[in-house]
Chain A
Amino acid sequence: MANNDLRSATISVLVENESGVLARVIGLFSGRGYNIDSLTVAPVERDGSKSRITVVTQGTEMVIEQIKAQLDRLVPVYKVLDLTEGPHLSRELALIKVIGTGEKRAEALRLADAFRARVIDATTESFTFELTGATDKLDAFLDLMRPLGLAEVSRTGVAAIARGLKTIG
């Protein structure tokens, strides 16, 4: 526990889908000085009664344990699961607008193909790509697009789930 190394943690939080619940989670992070690298939230039950928040954060082991304990004591929280404790999958989606002409435009399309990004909109001077993958894949693609006319990015943040039979419920 006395380990002072920083680590990244992907934490899924199953919450009652009620007003203010996201503000409670975000307020907890800002009030106690924890980092938020990424945060996603959406209802996950068919009746809309529960939402799943996935938050990517960084801290020492002690801080991450604190974050989980603090999240767990919020009244509308059902379950807190630290996915980084076991094998898990995490994905992000990005919409990426690249503006350019000529060889740069052609190169952007070739690279998009290599990354399995889909073209979802195009003009004679632009492409809009849709790319899904782990955070580092998205980062790598964006690095390549920067000199080719990267104009705008919209990212969803990380959604994550445990591998195998393990579930949050």
Chain B
Amino acid sequence: MTWSRRSISSPSHADARLAGVLSAAAGLAAAILVLIVLFLLRESWPVLEKVEWLRYLTDAAWHPSEGLFGLAPMLGATLASSAGALLLAGSLGVASALFCRFYAPSSIARQYRRLLALLAGIPSVVFGFWGLTELVPLIARWQPPGTSLLAAILILTLMILPTVALTADAALAAVPEGYLQGAAALGLSRSGTILGVALPAAKGGIVSGLLLAAGRALGEIMAVLMVAGNVVQTPHGLFDPVRTLTANIALEMAYATGEHRAALFVSGLVLTGLVMLLAGLALRQGGTRSHV
């Protein structure tokens, strides 16, 4: 039951004043998003009105101080690292969830879940730091210089894996017991049950978890900043050092002025748009249930 609007107007002065104060606070909270968009637009305006959209993709290089705004290599790096991480984390994450639900005895499953929850809380800077001190030298031994797209993909995988695994785990837990019992009654093997019944039923939740993880991967900055190598180039191989959009903003903001700074804000806008698109898709997915 909610307090209907009529009772807000009933003469209890304390309540009327309270409602007023609360509304002001809520308005302020809601205004933050508006402020963010406003300021992003304001700061990026000098470049936004000068440079047409296509140039961001077709310009030869990224030298904003010289009037070149080619975001393509960094966009490519962002997409490549996120896609690679999503692939790896998706498969390993779903496999982990299957492990917890169908293969492991419950005590081990509980510890495993706790480990995943612990790792979900580790800050990105620590992941980046560990990547820099352990992963990068390992990769360097195989193929110098070590800081590369591969390192970025691996670190991102580690970071989004807990999200994917835990949401997949929750989605599998929501599969009605009846489905699984029915499958057993039909004599389906464990793999058959999983592939034919459990995964399709949990599909919605798993996909929404993947979308959330993708959003996180795209927006990730510290870890990739530390291990990806920071050379602005389109990656041609796994071992090329690259720079993502996010890392670019972080690195150049410190000294960028004028148009350069505005261009960075533009790339911030692009990033926000991408992430919000994914979040929107995830919300929509989360609302649908899959029928087997």
Q: Do A and B bind each other?
A: no
